[in-house]
Amino acid sequence: MRVYLGSDHAGFELKNRLVAWLSEAGHEPVDCGPPVYQEDDDYPLYVMRAADGAVKDPGSLGIVIGGSGNGEQIASNKIPGVRAALAWTVETAQLARQHNDANVLSLGARMYSIDDALAFAKVFVETPFSGAERHARRLAEVAEYEKTGQLPPLPPAP
């Protein structure tokens, strides 16, 4: 699996650990930067490239990393077609794939240990979308809004 990664200074060490782990696990990491630690860098420069790569390369995923993961998730979700999810447990990483067909995982390097972050990434990369009708229907509603800008219609009142 090809996995695009991007971070800021806060996520730089974790990004490098994830690149190494992905390679060792037989995946193909694509490091979108930063190439060196820069204390005052801006995360959108790198995480948006990782998210864009995941969308433009069908069958791939993205992982974006910052201090909390919040800004990285927000920036990634501005790329059309991205479904970025913030994980804080193995279960939230798994459900992001199973129920939401998330294609980008956002991690907060300051929020948990490197071992936990690696576990979240592992389950994210290894978990397929369930394809359950209710989840596919919900994703189609979001995709339609993204395409048209029209909110989904409300159901009739009971």
pLDDT digits (tens, 9 = 90+) for 56-94: 999 999 999 999 999 999 999 999 999 999 999 999 999
DSSP for residue 157? P
Q: Is 137 left (phi over 0), alpha (psi -120 to 50) or beta?
A: alpha
Nearest 5°: CA angle at 51, between 79 and 71? 80
pLDDT class for 145, splitting at 50, 70, 90? very high
Task: For the chain, list the domains and their CATH numbers.
Answer: 2-148 (3.40.1400.10)
Residue 79, helix vs strand vs coil: coil
User: What mean pLDDT is predicted for residues 118-145?
Assistant: 97
Q: Which of 24, 39, 72, 135 is catalytic?
A: 72
pLDDT at residue 107, rounded to an integer: 98
User: What mean pLDDT is predicted for residues 106-119?
Assistant: 98
Rounded to an integer, what distance in angstroms lies between the CA atom of residue 124 and that of residue 90? Answer: 8
Catalytic annotation on 72?
A: yes
pLDDT at residue 51, rounded to an integer: 98
Catalytic annotation on 27?
A: no
pLDDT at residue 67, rounded to an integer: 97
Query: 145, 117, 134, 127: which is closest to 13 by C-alpha?
Result: 117
Rounded to an integer, what distance in angstroms lies between the CA atom of residue 38 and that of residue 133? Answer: 45
Rounded to an integer, what distance in angstroms lies between the CA atom of residue 29 and that of residue 134? Answer: 32
Find all residues with CB under 8 Å of 34, minimum gap 6, and list them: 7, 8, 9, 12, 41, 45, 46
User: What mean pLDDT is predicted for residues 117-134?
Assistant: 98
Q: Which of 9, 99, 135, 144 is catalytic?
A: 99
pLDDT class for 114, splitting at 50, 70, 90? very high
Is residue 88 packed enough to be buried (19+ CB in 10 Å), middle (13-18) or exposed (0-12)? middle
Rounded to an integer, what distance in angstroms lies between the CA atom of residue 101 and that of residue 149? Answer: 21
Quote the pTM value. 0.96
pLDDT tens for residues 9-36?
Answer: 999 999 999 999 999 999 999 999 999 9
pLDDT at residue 109, rounded to an integer: 98
pLDDT at residue 15, rounded to an integer: 98
